[in-house]
Amino acid sequence: MTSKGPVEPTSSFLDRLFLYGIRSVLVVLAVVVFGASLVAHGWLVDRFDYLASGVLIIMIGVGLAFAFQQTTTTVITKRYYAADTLVGKVGRAVVSMKATGKGVVQVEHESWSAVAEEDIARGDPIIVTAVDADKVTLKVRNQRA
């Protein structure tokens, strides 16, 4: 019997949508749609004040989108990814890494900065052995069978 490495589920658009919060996405969409309707109406009736207001509201909506994304990601990372919960988790190397070299790994459906304890090829299954003091860099090694 052959054993295969862990299968990483792919992250879909809906996964990301719910990660950032459906309510925040709906608020941003409502603001942008309202701004776009003001722009369209201002263009049709040739009113500069509607156009300017619509563009300003669209810019506010885009700013809200970035703010919601940043704060939601920070809250989720702080809440669910404590250092001790990642040690021992299995993932996959996104790039090749030399021993003590830096790279990127995929663990728990998220990309993390990593330092390799040994040479690791791209796509190899890895295991997290420690988390650096910065709490965003993982120390990893090849997963042994």
Report residue 73 as tokens.
Answer: 């990601």
pLDDT of residue 51: 92
| pTM for this prediction | 0.45
pLDDT in tens, the chain (145 residues): 454 544 444 556 665 556 556 777 788 889 999 999 999 999 999 999 999 999 999 999 999 888 877 766 555 555 455 667 888 899 999 999 998 888 889 988 888 889 999 999 999 999 999 888 777 788 999 987 4
Which fold does the domain 84-142 belong to in CATH?
OB fold (Dihydrolipoamide Acetyltransferase, E2P) (2.40.50)
User: Which residues in 28-61 are b (16+ Cβ under 10 Å) and which e?
Assistant: beebbebbeebbeebeeeeeeebbebbeebbeeb
CA dist., res. 34 & res. 24, Å (int) = 15
pLDDT of residue 6: 46
How many Cβ atoms from other residues are within 10 Å of residue 133's Cβ? 7
Q: Which sequence spans correspond to the domains of the chain?
A: 13-80, 84-142
pLDDT of residue 112: 86
| C-beta of residue 112 within 8 angstroms of C-beta of residue 77 | no
What is the phi-psi region of residue 109: left when phi exceeds 0, alpha when psi lies from -120 to 50, beta otherwise?
Answer: left
